Amino acid sequence: MTTPLVLIVDDESSLLEFLALLFEGEGYRVETAESMHGAREKIARGRAFDLVMCDVHMPDGSGLDLLREIKDSQPQASVIMMTAYTSTKSAIEAMRLGAYDYVSKPFDVEELKILVQKALEKTRLVEENVYLRRELEQKYTFSNIIGKSRPMQEVFALVERVARTSSTVLVEGESGTGKELIARAIHFASPRAKHKFLSINCGAMPENLLESELFGHERGAFTGALKEKKGLFHEAHRGTLFLDEIGEMTPPMQVKLLRVLQQKVVRKVGSNEEEAVDVRIIAATNRDLSEMIAAGTFREDLYYRIQVIPIRLPPLRDRREDVPLLADYFVRKYAQDMGTPPKRISPAAMAILERYRWPGNVRELENLVERALALTASDVIEPLDLPGYLRETQPTLGEEARLPPQGLDLEEYLDTLRAEMMRQALERCGGVQTRAAELLRMSFRSFRYYAKKAGVVGASNEAETDLELEAPA
């Protein structure tokens, strides 16, 4: 919680003014309202109050109604009710409705201050819990990072091992390969999981802003620094700080970061004091840092500090066997989000997905599946439900498509190639010929013809074939 924000609601303007001064003096930000109406307006503006102090008897309604509304719209806020005289009935009602406490006027100022401190402390705990729960709900367990390909299995094993340490990790990979996902997985599998995981994009802001975001600043450190501010290194104490796009950091910031990593102390902008911090750093980049070092734009000493453990995420096109898994996973995930039953991706559509180059990697696949789910009316996603540019990609010819020195019998070669493709298609479709034909964009009739000719389909498949012929296409 940054500086606490307090709302005081009372129709007695002199008391309102007094309380505002009192709590501003305590270092809180204070807003006031003289009527229920005024209070509702402030709340409706959507600012999250940490504490609301409210008179029970207001000229335009009961403070208890306001309490009820606040519990609905701002559940994080602690509420203290104030009454002009001891009314046991409204006090009990206030507590029942979830007020933190109530006080009767006139009140003892010192007691009130302590009560307010305690109420704010409770808000802070609630907020922390909400934060932790929200992060945990996202369950960055390995089961939510999909990948059966060898390179991804190796990444998982590495993640598990580094999670136990506090070493600095550098995650490298093209855009959309899952760098942030991996960073979170490391944090949540580590002993630091009960503390915070915070992230910042080093390329998204000017240098001086980045510096004060990372290290904090003293009040008056520069024009506009009206209050003292904690930096992310402080906030992430005992947790993990994810420095995204580290390659975008300017050389002077690189020097400052290097100092923090070497000495494990940070100094706020405008301060002379150093404070020890215990923060695990995970950095990520989609640039080639070694190239940047050669070009003199990234410090070599910083590079060696951050890449104590390097994790390279391969582009999706180098692990195509993960495509069907990921696609199925996203279909289920988005169907659940949209509250609709999951759809099937037809083998032909899946084949297109497997063949595509995925310049935007997993993120592109995820977006595409989400879009296809929303746009497909039937319960099967077919090639036509995919964007045109995917369908246009032609298969590339491999090494085997070389004309041997002695030449070859082209027809025979094409027959072999066709038979091999049909065999693979059948295998992928669990022997169901209609699907295999679909996968190869062949009519069922010609599929059967060539299958017989090449002996691809055994006798056992004949019965199934006949049944399928009768089924509607």
Ligand X SMILES: Nc1ncnc2c1ncn2[C@@H]1O[C@H](COP(=O)(O)OP(=O)(O)OP(=O)(O)O)[C@@H](O)[C@H]1O
* By CB under 6 A, residue 349 contacts ligand X: no
* One of 175, 208, 263, 416 touching ligand X (CB under 6 A): 175
Which residue in the block uniquely carries the two structure tokens 């510096």? 211
Q: In angstroms, rounded to a whole number, what is the distance separating the alpha carbons of residues 348 and 384? A: 10
Which single residue brings its beta carbon nearest to Mg ion? Answer: 180
Among 186, 189, 78, which residue's Cα sits nearest to residue 125?
A: 78
Among Mg ion, ligand X, none, partner that 279 touches (CB below 5 to 8 angstroms by kind): none
* By CB under 6 A, residue 216 contacts ligand X: no
* By CB under 6 A, residue 286 contacts ligand X: yes
* By CB under 6 A, residue 363 contacts ligand X: yes
Among ligand X, Mg ion, none, partner that 287 touches (CB below 5 to 8 angstroms by kind): none
* One of 173, 216, 231, 315 touching ligand X (CB under 6 A): 173
Task: Say which residues have a Cβ less than 8 Å from residue 141's Cβ, sequence separation at least 6.
Answer: 185, 188, 189
- Our CB check for ligand X shows the closer of 147 and 347 to be 147
Q: In angstroms, rounded to a whole number, what is the distance separating the alpha carbons of residues 90 and 95? A: 9
Q: In angstroms, rounded to a whole number, what is the distance separating the alpha carbons of residues 90 and 423? A: 79
Given CA atoms 21, 23, 27, 31 in this order, what sign does their dihedral have? negative
Among Mg ion, ligand X, none, partner that 235 touches (CB below 5 to 8 angstroms by kind): none
What is the number of other CB atoms lying within 10 angstroms of the CB of residue 168? 19
Helix, strand and coil in the chain, % to nearest 5: 50, 15, 35
Segment interacting with Mg ion (CB under 5 A) among 135-143, 176-184, 274-282, 302-310: 176-184
Peptide bond into 106 cis (omega under 30): yes
Which residue in the block uniquely carries the two structure tokens 């994009």? 201
- Our CB check for ligand X shows the closer of 144 and 208 to be 144
Both tokens of 116, joined, read 């307010």
Least CB distance from residue 310 to Mg ion, whole Å? 17
* One of 40, 179, 256, 435 touching ligand X (CB under 6 A): 179
For the chain, counts of helices (H) and of strands (E): 20, 18
Among 61, 71, 48, 58, which residue's Cα sits nearest to residue 2?
A: 48
Which single residue brings its beta carbon nearest to ligand X? Answer: 178
Segment interacting with ligand X (CB under 6 A) among 50-58, 60-68, 139-147, 438-446: 139-147
* By CB under 6 A, residue 147 contacts ligand X: yes
- Our CB check for Mg ion shows the closer of 135 and 180 to be 180
Among ligand X, Mg ion, none, partner that 286 touches (CB below 5 to 8 angstroms by kind): ligand X
Amino acid at 438: E
User: Is 269 in contact with 215 (CB distance < 8 Å)?
Assistant: yes
Q: In angstroms, rounded to a whole number, what is the distance separating the alpha carbons of residues 362 and 323? A: 9
User: Is 221 in contact with 177 (CB distance < 8 Å)?
Assistant: no
- Our CB check for Mg ion shows the closer of 183 and 323 to be 183
Least CB distance from residue 379 to ligand X, whole Å? 23
* By CB under 6 A, residue 177 contacts ligand X: yes
Segment interacting with ligand X (CB under 6 A) among 110-118, 175-183, 219-227, 415-423: 175-183
* One of 135, 180, 370, 415 touching ligand X (CB under 6 A): 180
* By CB under 5 A, residue 370 contacts Mg ion: no
* One of 11, 12, 127, 180 touching Mg ion (CB under 5 A): 180
* By CB under 5 A, residue 245 contacts Mg ion: no
Paired sense of beta strands 216-217 and 344-345, if any: unpaired
Q: In angstroms, rounded to a whole number, what is the distance separating the alpha carbons of residues 62 and 44? A: 18
Among Mg ion, ligand X, none, partner that 249 touches (CB below 5 to 8 angstroms by kind): none
Amino acid at 455: G
* One of 172, 366, 385, 438 touching ligand X (CB under 6 A): 366
Task: State the residues that interact with ligand X by CB under 6 A.
Answer: 145-147, 173, 175-181, 286, 326, 362-363, 366
Task: State the residues that interact with Mg ion by CB under 5 A.
Answer: 180
